[in-house]
Chains A and B, each alone.
Chain A
Amino acid sequence: MKKHSGFEAPGTLVLSFLLLVWIGFLWFGSWVTLAQAWPMK
């Protein structure tokens, strides 16, 4: 079976990068919220 390179799908590469940025936003955003909430009241 012919293998394709990921670079044959540049649009998906860009979308994947945006997904990682989005996960990072959620992840670090949640840590910031945690820091603001700490210590728990």
Chain B
Amino acid sequence: MAAIATPGSFSGTRSNFRVCPVTTFKVDLAAERLIIWNAVTAIVALTLGGTYALLIALTRWPDIHLLDPGWFYRLLTGHGMNMLVFWMVFFEAAGLYFGACVLLNARLVGVKLAWVAYLLMLVGAVMVNVIILMGRADVMFSAYPPLEADPLFYLGYILFAVGAILVCCIFLATLVMARVERRYEGSVPLAVFGLLTAAIIALFTLASGAVALIPTLLWRLGIGTIDPGAYRVTFWGFGHSAQQVNLSAMIAIWYSLATLTVGSKPVNEKLSRFAFFLYILFINLGSMHHLLVDPGLGTMAKFFNTSYAMYLAVLGSLIHAFSIPAAVEVALRAKGYNKGLFGWLLNAPWKEPGFSSLMLSLFIFGFLGGPTGVVLGAGQLNLLAHNTWRITGHFHATVVGGTTLAFMGFTYYVIPLIFRRPLFAKPLVRWQPWVYGIGMALVSISMTWAGYLGTPRRHWDVTFADAAKVGIAVQLPSLTNLSLTVTGIGALLAVTGGILYVVICVGSLFMPKREARALDPMEA
């Protein structure tokens, strides 16, 4: 497909576009290259984080208990950083460029700056990974002072965050320019609106991260002191809010996948936009989950954040939780699947990987991730669950079974349409979302159950077997061992699904380049 040159409005710049023969979108080739590089880097981070996940899971499995304590905490730190930050944010950078340029037929503003942002993020991610593997940052994801990491760890973190801030600014500038150049009429599409929500939340998330990490870096360099209480508050303004960025991006992708897979349209688009708006105002207060047992914060702060504010954010999620499956149902009923209450669901295209990813992600997030978060967000109940595996079970259902699975499903559309290569090993593609989704659901349910029984999170010796050596007998409920074992089995299944995903993506990169032939990735 020949590229076409389109005059830009400013500085005499010219952008090269190609027209996608399937979607008829005009794709800015400069944005396309950035989407590809960010997406590939995201998958490398996922591979690293997934490898660490396997080793951690085999250590948490009491009958295997693979790693020694040093390597356990080292890889737990690396697992958190790669999965919660690098995989997600690189993929979201690709998503922001996709939303702003491809969905709006617009040119990317500040291409050179976008490459600077990519390099900053890459250098930051490499620095953090190297320092962790060298054993100089066994501080876990939250890196609470007075735990000390090498200053280069914080510097890498900060460089990555600066790159991510640039990505958000470029996304916003591209939206403005698309408006100025009349690339679209009326409001931006709902998916782009969701990505805009993610970018807005990301900006104050990253600002909070800077407030936490820059003084910590200076403290490690011997300049000034650090207040651990203040660090915890500002860090979770970053650490949990970053997951709200993932949430908004995931929901934007849910709406996109519903449209791509069954041709659905939002049941009530204004209501869906309002739900995103509720996120901007209220959802970041979910950060308070981490601070409900923190002695440094007053009762009123905890009361406000865990009552009114949290329920308004949850209202947004409940609106999406109804709107998306309802849109799918309306679309499938329009195609004639009208039998009974659930005939549409039984006849849905479950073999289509985008659809199975969407529905499994919706189910895991909707029935496991979201509701457990609501319960954990209540101060009194948090007293029971804080620092137990219930917390870990909750966020493995949100950010992994929910967000990562949705991102995986979306990848199967990005590869034919943006990478312009057919999917590799298509029979495996059909199975991948199921293997990964069922594995993660098992992990999440069993972690939650183990946490309910009192299993601590972030602990090398979860059964306290070593306590007996110093004369302390710890008797955990007999079901604990069963739930920990189920977690191990679920993790093996999920890691298998993760390996399938990486094999499909890497294999597809070596498939002969050609234009997509159909929207369905299995036929493209």
Contacts and interface: CB of A to CB of B under 8 A. Distances in A.
Interface of A: 1-6, 8-16, 19, 22-23, 26-27, 30-31, 33-34, 37, 40
Contacts of B268: 3-4
B384 interface: yes
B345 to A, nearest CB: 6
A40 B378 CA distance: 17
B375 A4 contact: no
Contacts of B326: 4, 6, 8-9, 12-13
B374 interface: yes
State the majority secondary structure of interface residues on B.
helix
State the majority secondary structure of interface residues on A.
helix
Given A9-B329, A40-B383, A19 B367 contact: yes
Nearest to B371: A23
Interface of B: 265, 267-269, 318, 321-322, 325-327, 329-330, 333, 341-342, 344-345, 366-367, 371-372, 374-375, 378, 380-381, 383-385, 452
A15 B325 contact: yes
9 contacts: A4-B326, A8-B329, A9-B267, A11-B344, A12-B325, A23-B374, A23-B375, A30-B384, A34-B381
Given A11-B342, A12-B325, A23-B371, A4 B384 contact: no
A13 to B, nearest CB: 8
Nearest first, the 5 closest Cβ-Cβ pairs linking A and B are A9-B326, A9-B329, A12-B326, A23-B371, A4-B267
A23 B349 CA distance: 28
A30 B265 CA distance: 38
Contacts of A33: 384, 452
B132 to A, nearest CB: 35
A37 B327 CA distance: 43
Contacts of B330: 4, 8-9
A22 B371 CA distance: 8
Contacts of A15: 325
B267 A37 contact: no
B329 A12 contact: yes
A16 B383 CA distance: 29
A14 to B, nearest CB: 6
Nearest to B186: A1
Given A9-B330, A22-B371, A37 B322 contact: no
